[in-house]
Amino acid sequence: MKNSGRGAFRALSSFNYRVWAAGALVSNIGTWMQRIAQDWLVLTQLTHHDASAVGIVMGLQFAPQLLLLPWTGLAADRFNQRKLLMLTQATMGVLALILGVLTIEGVTRLWHMFVFAFLFGSAAALDAPVRQTFVAELVGDEHLPNAVALNSTSFNAARMIGPALAGLLIAKVGTGWAFLINGISFAGVLISMSLFRASELQPSVRATRAPGGFMEGFRYVWGRADLRAIMIMLFLIGTFGLNFPIFISTMAVKVFHSDAKGFGLLSSIMAVGTISGALLAAGRDKPQFRSLFIGAAIFGIGCTLAALSPGYWWFAGSLVLIGVAALTLTNTTNSMMQLSAEPAMRGRVMALRLAVALGGIPIGAPIVGWVANRFGPRWALGVGAASGFAAAIVAIRVLMQRTESIPENEPRPL
């Protein structure tokens, strides 16, 4: 197993990936600025600390992952991924610019946020499976797990920078400017894709146009016990655990009575954990199922500690632990599912993965928001902890079945 610094960054040996990573970092900073601005706007300016409204916005933003599932995976498998990415990235940039102008002009209402959340979610639902499978065209299968981990490192480095910048920006000039900066930041990805060396791309096999393509992908995933278990774990944690906007915003505002800067700082602190988790994944050659068990168990423990935190900095420390666990889970499932899927099926497999991991949020986020309103933010974190422990039980069952299937005279690796 490679654990050296060179090994942890080996995907950067590709020119196309280096250019892609630079553009993505710029865009990711803008994305995190918008996420913080969106939550703060809904919770403190458009409502009176209504966690349910934040949950509804989250639900509308991730609902298209399920609603558009029959088409998003097929699009990723059939069409030119580079052109499709340029279209989706440009669309999200324009939406951010429009929302920024409306907010600066002071005309934004809660229903506007509902509409924009759904539109953003629709573009993102088409973008996500393409963006995740496109990495294989940049670096090939050999460096795919490393590139996935480095993508997460970039995303979470931006998570450390973006929320802090957003908090300062909101406090100084207002929420709308964070949306505008995010809109401009999409130029980073668009410029990077225009600089690719086409001769160095490694296009995947494209799927043929045939009826029942979506159901073929579903049967492919559900027919494999390992992929089915991953899907169940992702549903549990994705639906009830990955509700960080609700957890962090309600704890910051209702429990610790923080201002916008304190709220943004908590999201940045969580990024310390997510970056650590991403770098740990980057040092591994191959993903292993036992990493899923470890990640799920630590996620449950982290949410429990967060729920019991006696003060702001105790809560911040628990977010680091949650971040390590969340990235261990998401990166491992991403690499395992891509590498184990046939190339012509990857788009549909990844669309199903995203639909399960994020498509459950429209169910879970309003529930978690209601729990935060009715019983308090600490109980909402308790729901997240339960999801982690339940996913760990699923992983234990798979690992036990694998161990039992090995003859007694052979070693029993996990």
Report pLDDT digits (tens) over 376-399: 999 999 999 999 999 999 999 888
152 falls in which pLDDT band (50, 70, 90)?
confident
Instruction: Give the residue-averaged pLDDT of 160-169.
Output: 86
pLDDT at 41: 92
Phi-psi region of 14 (alpha: psi -120 to 50; beta: other; left: phi over 0): beta
Rounded Cα–Cα distance for residues 330 and 323 (Å): 11
pLDDT, the chain, mean: 83
Output the six-digit token pair for 361.
């949020």
User: Any idea which of 1-5, 98-102, 233-237, 255-259 has the lowest mean pLDDT?
Assistant: 1-5
User: Any idea which of 156-165, 197-206, 303-312, 365-374 has the lowest mean pLDDT?
Assistant: 197-206
Nearest one of 316, 378, 347 to 204, comparing CA atoms: 347
Rounded Cα–Cα distance for residues 360 and 100 (Å): 28
Instruction: Give the residue-averaged pLDDT of 146-164.
Output: 81
Output the six-digit token pair for 103.
């907010």
404 falls in which pLDDT band (50, 70, 90)?
low
Q: Indicate if the pLDDT at residue 7 is higher than 70.
A: no
410 falls in which pLDDT band (50, 70, 90)?
very low
pLDDT at 314: 95
266 neighbors 316 (Cβ within 8 angstroms): yes
pTM of the model: 0.71
Q: Measure CA of the first residue to CA of the last residue in the chain; give whole Å.
A: 15
Domain map of the chain by residue range?
Answer: 5-404
Rounded Cα–Cα distance for residues 140 and 118 (Å): 33
- The residues, ordered by sequence, that sit 6+ positions from 220 with a Cβ below 8 Å of its Cβ are 341, 342, 345, 348, 349
Radius of gyration of the chain (CA): 20
7 neighbors 283 (Cβ within 8 angstroms): yes
Instruction: Give the residue-averaged pLDDT of 183-198.
Output: 91
Kindly state which CATH superfamily the domain 5-404 is placed in. Answer: MFS general substrate transporter like domains (1.20.1250.20)
